Amino acid sequence: MADASSATTDANRATAPGPSRPGGEPARAQLTTEAGKTRIAEGVVAKIAGFAAREIPGVHSMGAGIARRVGQLRGLVPGGAENIRQGVSVEVGEREAAIDLDVVTWYGQSIVDVSEAVRRNVVERVEGMTGLKVVEVNINVDDVYVEGDQEGRDDGRSPQGQ
């Protein structure tokens, strides 16, 4: 990704602040036009990517291992809700974003087809909503969900293969 420390003045050009921000603020993409600046937090990009990934049939859930289990428990608590950014990490540069996703697919679905559909949808949604160029979407398929299987198995074996 490009150096984020330079200021921008060109219209429709996104910039991100340097990695060390005073006060521990999260990194943000910045869209500068003649009319003013729009700042987009990394968390916003992660949330868009999380929603976009979950829109694809064949995606059961997001996140890896313990984080996924904690997210499932959160959904069982009254008033609790799934964290849409779970399983998503992003890095935002001057005009670009790189996105990493941890997904669980449904058994019987083509992992290749699901991954490609997720990748296309994430790129389309993030670029369309933020104006940032998505340079990569890395997808790590952490598990395959089987209806009735023990949720949280991470050893890659089905109950029949024990």
- Could you tell me the CATH number of the domain that includes residue 125? 3.30.70.1350
Domain presence at residue 27: no
- Quick one: how far is CA 126 from the chain centroid? 10
Q: In which band, very low, low, confident or very high, does the pLDDT at 84 lie, cut at 50, 70 and 90? A: confident
The pLDDT > 70 percentage for the chain reads 62
pLDDT reading at 25 higher than 90: no
The range of the structural domain enclosing residue 123 comes to 41-146
Each residue's pLDDT tens digit, 112-141: 999 999 999 999 999 999 999 999 999 999
Domain presence at residue 153: no
pTM of the model as a whole = 0.68
Looking at the structure of the chain, the number of domains it has is: 1
pLDDT reading at 160 higher than 60: no
- Render 100-141 in DSSP notation, one character per residue: EEEEEEETTS-HHHHHHHHHHHHHHHHHHHH--EEEEEEEEE
